[in-house]
A and B are shown apart, each in its own frame.
Chain A
Amino acid sequence: MNRLPAPFGTRIDRTRPLRFSFEGKSFDAYAGDCIASALAASGQWMLSRSFKYHRPRGVFSMNGAEANTLVQLPSEPNVAADRTPVSEDLQVRAQNVNGSLAHDRDAIIDRFGRFLPVGFYYRTFMGPRRDSWLKFWEPIIRRKAGLGIVDTKAAQRHFDKSHLHCDVLVVGAGPAGLNAAIAAAESGADVVLCDENPEIGGSLTYGRYDPAMLADLTARSEALPNLLTMTGTLCNGWYEDNWLPLIQGDRLYRTRAREVILATGAIGQPAIFRNNDLPGIMLGSAVQRLIRHYGVRPGQKAVVLTGNDEGYAVALDLVEAGVSVMLVADPRSGGVPGPLEAELHGRGVAIQKAVTVEAAEGRGGHLARVRIGGRWVECDLLTIAVGEVPAWQLSCQAGAKVGYEDVTGSMTLTLAQGSVRLAGSVAGDHGLEGAVAGGRRAAAMSLQRLGHAVARDTVLDKVKPSCPVHVQPILANARGRDFVDFDEDLQVKDLHNAIKDGYREIELVKRFTTVGMGPSQGRHSALATARIVAEATDRTVAEVGITTARPPVGPETLGVLAGHHEVLERRTALHARHLALNAAMKPVGAWWRPYFYGDTGDTQKAIRDEIMAVREGVGLLDVSTLGKLELRGPDAGEFLDRLYTMAHANQPVGRVRYCLMLNEMGSVVDDGVAYRLADDRFYVTATTGGVARVYADMLFWNAQWRLKVDVLNLTGAFCGLNVTGPKARSVLEALSGDIDFSREAFPYLSGREGVVAGVPVRVMRIGFTGELSFELHCPSSLAPALWDAVMAAGKPHGLMPYGLEASRILRLEKGHILIGQDTDAITTPDELGFGWAVSKKKPFFVGKRSIEMRARLGQARKLVGLQFPAGAKDIPGESCLVLRGNDPVGQITSIGFSPTLGCSIALAYVHVDDSKEGSPVMVKCRDGALVEVPVVGHAFFDPTNARQEM
């Protein structure tokens, strides 16, 4: 076991051992271990095979930043082993291996790598046929270069969303972020501090620093009630006006911050040389995380490659962890030895200056030796500390510009002054001292913007770097395997080949080579790529730049984005009445409506009985889902005149008129009726699906017309009950009230206000079913009482409540259209035969100009009725095509069996020349059968409208 004694291992609990398996083999671990640390403790360093060449890969950053550590869990693929905690009996498997991780049959691809140049797929798998890629090549390649496997049977988890608001959001709880958050909170601001690690402290938790500093900061942060610290929380993007998603477990916090401080730190960079991807080669910070977080000895014999103080600190840590440090290679020459260097000297560690690691070799899938200054040094661990780049993703999303200092070889970020600022190493604040000062400085500037009084001396100057900075050379190897991007297995020559092929711009290089497209998203490759492209194209690194960083910063599950499953639905006030009558409820848009009533033994019979009740007796329909709008004001009539095609300004009080709405291109978009309640008041209905749009359009137009009219949407506030059938009048006359329902007093297309059965109502005589109909509208709270009264009064007359399907057949028998069902985006009134509904006298209404113009262009189709012979075998369905010769000229829009007529009837668009009654048209059924059927008039039933005007 490679375990170190406490105090090493701050994350693990040695009193809670557990066991888990990797590739079917059992391993020991402690609670708090991540998969990679537990495996490393047992000497299992290889975690995966690389994407293209199936090369052995292992821990590199210990920070979940690259594809090297992606493993498969039973219910989740592509899990970062160096971030994901182990649990008892967890079954972990390697991904992308053919056979086993240790013996991957596809590892042979590594030998033939030169036959797989960059762009190989694009060029090679083009043919032989146009669809060869999808049909043949893609399935093969997907199997070879797959990542994990999704478990489609995985158990549902509860995902959730929440909102957070704060004065200051600090992203990153390292020394800079922690100091910024504390300083802001101590001044009284509401602060949220988030960090993706399980604890706060960042590099203070694993770097070679005095533990007292972290203890002090922790105590101070915990004492502040206005500082909310969220660990294990990924800030996954920056969006406009400081809107940031924070993901903690399965919950997404949509966070709005007045000020944002990004203290996201820096990302250690790999060194490029032959075989730089071997397991055993890792960042200095990874080594420190293994030692301090997990108490894992990262190797036996180590070589340290470093161009800065950090590497010397790592070397000292290694010595203290009992690792034999064979050599510290420092590519810098000369300079005054720092205190860390002196301490290493004192411990007898060899330090060699002005050399670097030129190549590495492995044995059995692990690092075995490295070549330094032409000499091979045996080692099983090479730690690298040759430079870092600021963690630029969030900063760039917030508008930061990327720069590059050629002298120091460092990438810089500059952000225009605003409500977002950078602190710590992401801002180029150097070292621990710089990070602390940078955090306080950022807090002071945020506080100033928030209007807090800030002492002048806290607005500190930047700390300048104190030691010489080394620019690590890119050591391209003639034989390759000098990896720039581990995720995508890209070598220096791959980038050179892309440039030779003419891809000079960084975004094109990325797309051609896929550099930076893997899980690390360029964290370890963007700078090296920019340097290679800059050199090859004779430009500066700043000119070449890096590719655009878009959200998300890290991987996120679809469940987190979706949140918890929630379907908004609407119920009418009569919902409980329908359920009590055993209604089969159906969703219609957001609404639930009765489809038919009664037990479901014979659906067709139930619907037929409801239809016959309306035709021969009386029926009751809940029409509460209809749009209901009240217009009020001296210009209400003029307003309707401009909005609808018929004349309303001259409509007498107490009359009801059909209204048809067009859009500006002259297409039918809605219909309903307008009931004039008073000179300055109209009650207007709109279709169930269209009312939201009609309501919006009304106010949009009036924002421009500025007429004196108010619009009130009463759709939810009012219910509607349609009492319809030859006996409708008898039912209503049996109820108490002050409305005279007689034919003389209450004629067709008129409206009355009054009281029925103690309920205040607006009643309209209209005829959607084609029978004598009274539509009673009342406040929703009173609708159940009215429903009960009508049901009781209707009982002696055999009144039946009827559902949506009966309603649709009843209206079809009358040839009444449904907007959206029988109309589409280009339907004109002429195509519906609705010339009667379009005023010829009005100087203006919306769509008038366009229907006149479209009439001149000529009409191609018309909506007609089609009646199929009784007993016909081939009956088409909705949307079946109407043919003229071989050309489709229209389609069936509505079809159903009419029990009244004993045959199937349909509405359909046909060629305008075939629209005369009696013209035969050809319809193609679903099974391909062609049926010839004659055109009939719109109204199949009672074409003279005698029944509805009784």
Chain B
Amino acid sequence: MKIMTCPMNGPRNIDEFQSFGPVRDELDPEQTADADWSRHLFRAENRKGVVVEWWRHVPSNYFFLAERDLVSNEIIRTFDASQRSGQS
């Protein structure tokens, strides 16, 4: 089983974590057309490469961010949401 390093709890088994999907663009709902809004909600890009994802450490209900390589499944780094640089 893979190990994930939680920024708050340290290295833990991956089955203590829940993925909340890649960080999405923040759209202004009022300025977005219906079709774009649907795509925003339902479509995942699933591109090759490195993504930044939301993860939750379930026992502590702590949300943080992880940079993961979708090809090698390597977790490159994990960090608290307060260290999020700009909007991705």
Contacting B at CB under 8 A, from A231-265, are 239-241, 243, 254
Query: For residue B70, which residues in chain A have a CB less than 8 angstroms away from its CB?
Result: none
Interface footprint category on B: 20 to 34
Indicate if the CB atoms of B29 and A703 lie closer than 8 Å. no
Bound Cα distance from A704 to B63, whole angstroms: 9
Query: For residue B34, which residues in chain A have a CB less than 8 angstroms away from its CB?
Result: 853, 856
Indicate if the CB atoms of A699 and B2 lie closer than 8 Å. no
Indicate if the CB atoms of A664 and B41 lie closer than 8 Å. yes
B34-47 vs A, CB cutoff 8 Å, 1 = contact: the mask equals 10011001100000
Which one of A241, A699, A703, A853 lies within 8 Å of B37 (CB-CB)?
A853
Seen from chain A, the residues whose Cβ lies within 8 Å of a Cβ on chain B are 239-241, 243, 254, 664-665, 695-696, 699-700, 703-704, 706, 713, 843-844, 848-850, 853, 856
Indicate if the CB atoms of B2 and A703 lie closer than 8 Å. no
Indicate if the CB atoms of A243 and B61 lie closer than 8 Å. no
Bound Cα distance from A239 to B32, whole angstroms: 44
Indicate if the CB atoms of A704 and B81 lie closer than 8 Å. yes
Indicate if the CB atoms of A699 and B41 lie closer than 8 Å. no
**12 A-B pairs with C-beta separation under 8 A:** A239-B2, A240-B2, A241-B3, A243-B13, A664-B41, A696-B18, A699-B62, A703-B54, A704-B81, A706-B81, A713-B61, A850-B41
Indicate if the CB atoms of B82 and A706 lie closer than 8 Å. yes
Indicate if the CB atoms of B37 and A243 lie closer than 8 Å. no
A252 to chain B, nearest CB (A): 13
Query: For residue A241, which residues in chain B have a CB less than 8 angstroms away from its CB?
Result: 1-3
Known A-B contacts: A713-B61, A848-B29. Give 8 more (CB < 8 A): A240-B2, A241-B2, A665-B42, A696-B58, A706-B81, A706-B82, A849-B32, A856-B34
Query: For residue B73, which residues in chain A have a CB less than 8 angstroms away from its CB?
Result: 240
B9-38 vs A, CB cutoff 8 Å, 1 = contact: the mask equals 000011000101000000001101010011
Query: For residue A706, which residues in chain B have a CB less than 8 angstroms away from its CB?
Result: 81-82
B63 to chain A, nearest CB (A): 4
Indicate if the CB atoms of A700 and B1 lie closer than 8 Å. no
Indicate if the CB atoms of B62 and A700 lie closer than 8 Å. no
Indicate if the CB atoms of A699 and B54 lie closer than 8 Å. no
Q: Please, which residue of chain B has its CB at the minimum distance from the CB of A695?
A: B61
Which one of B3, B30, B56, B82 lies within 8 Å of A700 (CB-CB)?
B56
- Secondary structure at chain B's binding surface: helix, strand, loop or mixed? mixed
Query: For residue A856, which residues in chain B have a CB less than 8 angstroms away from its CB?
Result: 34
Indicate if the CB atoms of A699 and B82 lie closer than 8 Å. no
Indicate if the CB atoms of A844 and B82 lie closer than 8 Å. no
Most buried by A among B42, B61, B64, B82: B61
Q: Please, which residue of chain A has its CB at the minimum distance from the CB of B2?
A: A240
Q: Please, which residue of chain A has its CB at the minimum distance from the CB of B60?
A: A699
Query: For residue B82, which residues in chain A have a CB less than 8 angstroms away from its CB?
Result: 706
Q: Please, which residue of chain B has its CB at the minimum distance from the CB of A854?
A: B34
Q: Assess A849 versus B1: contact at CB under 8 Å? Given A696-B61, A700-B20.
A: no
Which one of B13, B20, B37 lies within 8 Å of A850 (CB-CB)?
B37
A578 to chain B, nearest CB (A): 29
Bound Cα distance from A848 to B37, whole angstroms: 12
Query: For residue B41, which residues in chain A have a CB less than 8 angstroms away from its CB?
Result: 664-665, 850
Query: For residue A713, which residues in chain B have a CB less than 8 angstroms away from its CB?
Result: 61
Q: Please, which residue of chain B has its CB at the minimum distance from the CB of A244?
A: B1
Which one of A254, A699, A853 lies within 8 Å of B61 (CB-CB)?
A699
Bound Cα distance from A243 to B15, whole angstroms: 12
Indicate if the CB atoms of A703 and B81 lie closer than 8 Å. yes
Which one of A695, A700, A844 lies within 8 Å of B54 (CB-CB)?
A700
Q: What 7 A-B pairs come out closest when comparing CB atoms?
A: A849-B29, A703-B63, A240-B2, A243-B1, A703-B81, A241-B3, A853-B34
Bound Cα distance from A704 to B61, whole angstroms: 14
Q: Assess A700 versus B63: contact at CB under 8 Å? Given A849-B37, A850-B37, A853-B37.
A: yes
Query: For residue A704, which residues in chain B have a CB less than 8 angstroms away from its CB?
Result: 81
A249 to chain B, nearest CB (A): 22
Most buried by B among A699, A843, A848, A853: A853
Q: Please, which residue of chain B has its CB at the minimum distance from the CB of A844?
A: B29
Indicate if the CB atoms of B37 and A696 lie closer than 8 Å. no
A723 to chain B, nearest CB (A): 32
Bound Cα distance from A434 to B65, whole angstroms: 48
Query: For residue A850, which residues in chain B have a CB less than 8 angstroms away from its CB?
Result: 37, 41
B79 to chain A, nearest CB (A): 12
Query: For residue A699, which residues in chain B have a CB less than 8 angstroms away from its CB?
Result: 56, 61-63
Bound Cα distance from A713 to B20, whole angstroms: 20
Bound Cα distance from A254 to B13, whole angstroms: 11
B47 to chain A, nearest CB (A): 22
Bound Cα distance from A474 to B28, whole angstroms: 69
Bound Cα distance from A243 to B14, whole angstroms: 11
Q: Please, which residue of chain B has its CB at the minimum distance from the CB of A664?
A: B41
Query: For residue A700, which residues in chain B have a CB less than 8 angstroms away from its CB?
Result: 20, 54, 56, 63
Most buried by A among B18, B38, B63: B63
Indicate if the CB atoms of B3 and A696 lie closer than 8 Å. no
Bound Cα distance from A664 to B40, whole angstroms: 10
A714 to chain B, nearest CB (A): 13
Q: Please, which residue of chain B has its CB at the minimum distance from the CB of A239?
A: B1
Bound Cα distance from A239 to B61, whole angstroms: 26
Q: Please, which residue of chain B has its CB at the minimum distance from the CB of A243?
A: B1
